[in-house]
Amino acid sequence: MDKSEVIQQLEDTATLLALKENSSVFEARAYENAARALGTLNGDIEQLVSEGKLKGTPGLGPTLIKRIEEMVTTGRFSFLEELRASTPAVKIEMLRIPGMGPKRINTIYDQVHVNSIAELEQACKDNKIAVLPGFGKKTQDKILQGIAFMQEHANRFLYSVGEQEAEQIRTALAKLPQIVRLQVAGSLRRRRETVKDIDMVVSVADDAGSDVRNAIMDFFTSQPSVKAITGKGETKASVILSTGIAMDLRVVGDSQFPYTLHHFTGSREHHIPLRRRALSLNMTINDYGLFKVESGKEELVPCKDEKDIYAALGMEYIEPELREDTGEIEAAIHKQLPVLVQESDLRGVIHAHTTWSDGKNSLREMAEACMARGFSYVGITDHSKIAAYAGGLSEDDLRRQGEEIDRLNEEFAGRFRILKGTECDILRDGSLDFSDEALASLDFVIASIHSIFNLPPAEQTQRMIRAISNPYVDIIGHPTGRILLGREGYTLDMEAVIEAAAKHGTCIEINANPLRLDLDWRHLHRARDLGMKIPIGPDAHNLAGLDDMRYGIGVARKGWLRASDVLNTLETEPLLQFFHSRRSQKK
């Protein structure tokens, strides 16, 4: 068991301990602390255990050291297994309802004996929750709202989840020699932030028989991640995968592939004006082909790929990410589509955490991982002092972190640069959590809201705009604060926020964490048109988090951004110049 797995098991233990009756919240917290402590330790966990080096680490006492040793040496963790066996599944499910924590869950479970979310919903409707001690009508209503939110999003999945599932199957299918072409379609190909299901299209030789098609379907439906088969024929098979996500596979002859792929890539909204365009040219398009209609007879327009389809319609090729009917048809007709930014355009990372606050890896580890990924710089942005839950830095910490950065930069000179930054909390009134002196000592400043989410919209908007107009603030972090499938964003007027940011020359980031993807692509158009430079930030809390950058690229592409619109396509010196010049302009 490697370090990240051990940390995960410790965190799971903390969750289950919190749900356990009569358990101390501090015991649960001890497991959280231990997970964090382990995260800050450098080196291979097996070696640390075998050499007895865990002893003396703050947060790891005799019990936890013994438990970590068990995990590392046996690959199992009996304490967690027992906890899992003794915790009703419904309690864990209830944790996902906003506003429900261990105390309320246990009260409800003990006194109303609910065994499912459905039973909890009924109990609320029967007014059985409001009468419990410490509960009331409003809490009951809030639980109902939370359940409704959960159900509304229950059949959707994060893009990242769909992507991983699809990639696994795509890799497996790609090994079949009978398959000529193979492509993910649907909302996943369009890089929507959440997806309902996975669509995949494969082609076989036009003269391939039933046996070839059936063999592919047999192979597909017998994949290890397939949990249930809901339909299976020669041209289409439908399954449910282990994560619960549904998947359709379609098999077509290779000459039909472009039309089918295009059809199942969508979106429906994109296809409506596209069909209108086809009709205006006496053509018609469906999943079987593009046809020229003359005197009532249809004649296929041969297309070897999607580019040919758009070309036949007198249009530039439209990238899948843009197929949402937000002006792409018109732009393609007039050959005005942007060249979209790509992952390879990125030169560095802006927005990453380290063990100085709630990150799992050290400054050095984060910097070296960025170097290994070919980046020229990383902007380190640990939390500010009020974010105590995340180990926020005091101004003195910030200064000492700066000294460590100076030392590392000396070592990396000429190869790589660590930029001094912060993710500074925006306080209730829109002021910042660090003094101007502290902020002035940094290369750049990200300001984010992490508390007081539901001020009245006008007040929340003013709070954000005040932060935007602060001369030291370069970037607003995760501007809506939404958690995909989990929580709505802050109550603020995003249009007004974007305009204020553009006016003050303040950037708004695309937070590339797959749970956030915030700023939303629907707002990017506007920001770009106002001339804003958009940083793509992974908000990385560990090394793996650095790879989330690609999700941010997906959002940027959906928002029509070119490489020149993205801040961190700049090399180190121009970027520092950008921060420097805008700061002196604003003051």
Partner DNA sequence: GCCGTTTTCGGCCCGACTGTTTTCAGTCG
Left if phi > 0, otherwise alpha if psi is -120 to 50, otherwise beta: which for 442? beta
Q: How far is the CB of 24 from DNA (least distance, A)?
A: 5
Distinct helix (H) and strand (E) counts, the chain: 24, 18
In 3D space, the residue among 531, 350, 549, 518 whose CA is nearest the CA of residue 449 turns out to be 518
- By CB under 7 A, name the one of 12, 27, 305, 404 that touches DNA: 27
Residue 273 contacts DNA per CB under 7 A = no
Residue 134 contacts DNA per CB under 7 A = yes
Q: How far is the CB of 70 from DNA (least distance, A)?
A: 13
For DNA, the binding residues in 481-500 under the rule CB under 7 A are 483, 487
Residue 22 contacts DNA per CB under 7 A = no
Residue 59 contacts DNA per CB under 7 A = yes
- By CB under 7 A, name the one of 454, 531, 584, 587 that touches DNA: 454
Residue 477 contacts DNA per CB under 7 A = no
Q: How far is the CB of 22 from DNA (least distance, A)?
A: 12
**Contact region with DNA (CB under 7 A), list: 99-107, 263-271, 346-354, 464-472:** 99-107
* Eight-class DSSP state of 518: B
CB closer to DNA out of 443 and 518: 518
Residue 8 contacts DNA per CB under 7 A = no
Q: Taking the mean position of all CA atoms in its chain, how far away is CA 572?
A: 26
Residue 61 contacts DNA per CB under 7 A = yes
What's the order of all strands across the beta sheet hosting 197-204? 181-185, 197-204, 246-253, 236-241, 226-232
- By CB under 7 A, name the one of 22, 75, 113, 133 that touches DNA: 133
Residue in the structure block whose two tokens are 């539901």: 454
Retrieve residue 109's tokens.
């479970």
- By CB under 7 A, name the one of 63, 155, 282, 342 that touches DNA: 63
* Eight-class DSSP state of 2: -
Residue type, 117: I
Q: Where are the beta strands (DSSP E) in 398-512?
A: 417-425, 446-448, 475-476, 507-508, 510-511
**Contact region with DNA (CB under 7 A), list: 32-40, 153-161, 162-170, 367-375:** 32-40
Residue type, 426: I
CA–CA distance, 187 with 197 (Å, rounded to integer) = 8
3-state secondary structure of 415: coil
Contact yes or no for 19/95 (Cβ under 8 A) = yes
Q: How far is the CB of 358 from DNA (least distance, A)?
A: 9
Residue in the structure block whose two tokens are 């669509």: 199
CB closer to DNA out of 155 and 394: 394
**Contact region with DNA (CB under 7 A), list: 128-136, 293-301, 322-330, 414-422:** 128-136
Query: Where do the H-state alpha helices sit in 43-158?
Result: 45-50, 62-74, 78-86, 89-94, 102-112, 117-125, 137-152
Residue type, 126: D
CB closer to DNA out of 52 and 314: 52
CB closer to DNA out of 246 and 386: 386
CB closer to DNA out of 129 and 549: 129
CB closer to DNA out of 93 and 325: 93
3-state secondary structure of 103: helix
Q: How far is the CB of 199 from DNA (least distance, A)?
A: 32
Residue in the structure block whose two tokens are 């070119």: 562
Q: Which residues bind DNA (CB under 7 A)?
A: 24, 26-27, 29-34, 57-65, 98-105, 130, 133-140, 142, 386, 388-389, 391, 428, 450-454, 483, 487
